[in-house]
Structure 1
């Protein structure tokens, strides 16, 4: 067998030099339309959103107190180590699929399958969590305007009196699916415009909020102990890795090998600065025990007599958090598309629209699934569901960088992760460590999903994989 493909059975790997569309896949191709700043906007759009406008208040109130700022710093360190690993792979393998494709190429098909299968659930759940967060601000805004909305449509069962379904969140999921199906050029223009608006709102929050900080609200800084800050980091972690979902769009970038690594680094750096400043403002304006879990900044500004600005923040949050939904729904559809194109899932899912060149079928399926989760599952349970698979994906990508540096040091790399193996090892250790802080219910849900995935792989994917049915380049019959 040619050195272009190594391993057999579940350990067979995609040849990195020849990762391209399978023969005859013209109906399964994406169009390269994204430039550097559009990619960066998608990354920033995925990172900044629910973390500032929703999860910061949720974690401050019930998990970390003012130490929520350290929760974001801890999560940011782990995320930065993994981000550098993603940046190296993004310049090396400019194809859709992100961690799924990287794991497949370096560690083998079964590892790629497991990561891809996990991401299908995690990304879909993230879309739902963000939709729920927007719904919280929508309820705040409606209440401030004196309007009345029936209680049955304002939250999942058990989240409040009379709540039956979070209808606003569910409808938002379907609207994002519709937007993504209009074509990447149109969708990216919308995303970039809204990201600019969102950053302006965050800067407004920070500048005005600093004028109303009461340092007494920072005491006690660790009301739940130092462990509370780490538990909070595990919860907010999904809010600092939008670049992961953005990297799934590598196949739609005009110059992925040059632009994707830069976009990953730029988007994380911009987001972390804004996160730290925003958390300091939130916990300084209002005591952590009084922060609203779903519309933290709006209620904080209202508490200091700035109701007008509170409404502006609520509107900005509703519009701005849409970009997070956009980024992660983009991510899950591209992972699903890649897995189907590789034969690990039915090829029917990989069919793209004949003129818009987007995977419309999987996009509508994901839109419907996320709508069901957003409408019926409380935000805390949905948030924890998102993290374990992403942390494992980070560990796999970081490990893959170390492995590939040793096995294929000759490969041309547009971006090189610094201090290998130290930096990727930090990403692995932080990711595995943060996983231990998740609740046991999260482990159970993940285990069930993982077992279902292995059954599907053994019963379908192993035999239908393109690598199982097509000789590698250079192989002789």
Structure 2
């Protein structure tokens, strides 16, 4: 179970499927991919919600702190991606550095993150779309039924786009991200004309005790904190950090990227920096337009524009929110497809899922499976109550990636790296600390459900993956080399 994947095989042709994916991405494409998943409907709400309930005008500092914490993890991903440009991302990194059992655990966490996220965002997309239709004056009969239909439609449509090929998905992504950024740009520019500097007031509002009981792991050890003031600024940062999560999915496009050793780190870091700047700009406009004490938690930005007499901007926000979540679903499906594709060709899940379509040159079989599971989850499971599980799976992978940079520097210093984390091991250690801080701000029941999911995953590995792994049988691994078997395109 501790057998490790040799570095040369991580991006080699061991299974006949390595590098069978067409190389279509360049730096600008990866930036768009990152912005497609990091900037969703939350950009129009999270700043106002955190300003009203936790940080006041200091929410701008919260965005900066969260951005720095995510940048530390992003730098670690950039080094490992530049060393092992593979579609498996954190799963493959862990396979090479720590061994098969740990790779399975990370892969299982990524399945939770990406599969559940696709269902959660699809359900949220349907709700926001119904609301947007109503805001345009169209009466929606039986909105619950309409939402269910919309969930099915969006997942079928985007699963088809992903299965049809990376180039088609990339073109669609460029169009939608461009339109989304234009909507956000309009919010920033128009909102800036209504900013009243007096609304920033005391940048660090008077601290107040928490009135709503919480049940995070941190609360168990230090007790409930305060809202507003510096306590509120730091309390809002973990929630805001979740908005930036998604840059890691860029790493799953490494095999489909031209010159990935240098392009993937650039695309990943640049997309996170751009997203951070955009979030900070929206936060500044939000708290500048109206006093934080009068911000509506339900629809902060829309209500702010209505308060200053620019209610027509509500439609721009609706369009931006719908497009924002559409691109998030699309990129999540792409990321999940690539991770499961990698696990399948390594034999840890059925290798039939690693078949490359002759017509579309994509792992269409696994794509259809992922889309079907997402539909079932979104339609029949109350996924909107499970959002923290998505975050937990992501942060768990972050910790292994940060630790992987430190261990790989010691064990495999000879490997070619297109990017190196500066000040290592200091920055990877800081990334570990920052990630752990984000994790302890999650609720206790989230940790419990995550532990159950991982325990189930270990049982699946022991019953299937451990025996089916290509590394468990050198004969089967040799039979899967290029030129043999159905996995070759």
- Aligned match for 1:38, one of 29, 41, 47: 29
- Aligned match for 2:190, one of 208, 211, 220: 208
Does 110-119 or 357-366 show the bigger shift?
357-366
- Map 1:247-286 onto structure 2 (within 5 A): 247-286=251-290
TM-aligned CA distance change 1:363 to 1:65, over 3 Å = farther
- The answer (yes or no) to whether the contact 1:238–1:390 under 8 Å persists in 2 is no
2:419 aligned with 1:415: yes
**Alignment-derived partner of residue 11 in structure 1:** 2
**Alignment-derived partner of residue 164 in structure 2:** 182
**Alignment-derived partner of residue 442 in structure 2:** 438
- Aligned match for 2:177, one of 174, 187, 195: 195
TM-aligned CA distance change 1:49 to 1:233, over 3 Å = same
SS at match of 2:164: coil
Cα RMSD (Å): 2.6
Per-residue CA deviations over 1:154-206 (Å, capped at 9, x if unaligned) read 79xxxxxxxxx654345323322121111101111111222222222222211
**TM-score relative to the length of structure 1:** 0.87
- The answer (yes or no) to whether the contact 1:198–1:319 under 8 Å persists in 2 is yes
SS at match of 1:386: helix
TM-aligned CA distance change 1:464 to 1:420, over 3 Å = same
**Alignment-derived partner of residue 121 in structure 1:** 112
- The answer (yes or no) to whether the contact 1:74–1:233 under 8 Å persists in 2 is yes
Per-residue CA deviations over 1:262-301 (Å, capped at 9, x if unaligned) read 1111111111111111112223334556655565433332
- The answer (yes or no) to whether the contact 2:70–2:245 under 8 Å persists in 1 is yes
**Alignment-derived partner of residue 219 in structure 2:** none
**Alignment-derived partner of residue 73 in structure 2:** 82
Unaligned 5+ segments in structure 1 are 1-9, 156-164
Distance of 1:194 and 1:402 partners within structure 2 = 38
Distance of 1:338 and 1:237 partners within structure 2 = 28
**Alignment-derived partner of residue 145 in structure 1:** 136
- The answer (yes or no) to whether the contact 2:180–2:324 under 8 Å persists in 1 is yes
Unaligned 5+ segments in structure 2 are 209-226, 479-489
**Alignment-derived partner of residue 366 in structure 1:** 370
**TM-score relative to the length of structure 2:** 0.85
**Alignment-derived partner of residue 337 in structure 2:** 333
Distance of 1:309 and 1:423 partners within structure 2 = 42
**Alignment-derived partner of residue 487 in structure 2:** none
TM-superposed deviation, 1:398: 0.8
SS at match of 1:307: coil
* Residues paired across the two proteins, number: 455
Distance of 2:302 and 2:350 partners within structure 1 = 45
Per-residue CA deviations over 1:287-326 (Å, capped at 9, x if unaligned) read 5566555654333323322222221221122123322222
Distance of 2:86 and 2:188 partners within structure 1 = 37
**Alignment-derived partner of residue 240 in structure 1:** 244
TM-aligned CA distance change 1:299 to 1:375, over 3 Å = farther
TM-superposed deviation, 1:370: 2.9
TM-superposed deviation, 1:136: 4.4
Distance of 1:252 and 1:317 partners within structure 2 = 29
Distance of 1:264 and 1:51 partners within structure 2 = 20
2:389 aligned with 1:385: yes
Does 378-387 or 122-131 show the bigger shift?
378-387
- Aligned match for 1:342, one of 343, 346, 352: 346
Per-residue CA deviations over 1:399-423 (Å, capped at 9, x if unaligned) read 1001111122122211111110011
Distance of 2:334 and 2:46 partners within structure 1 = 21
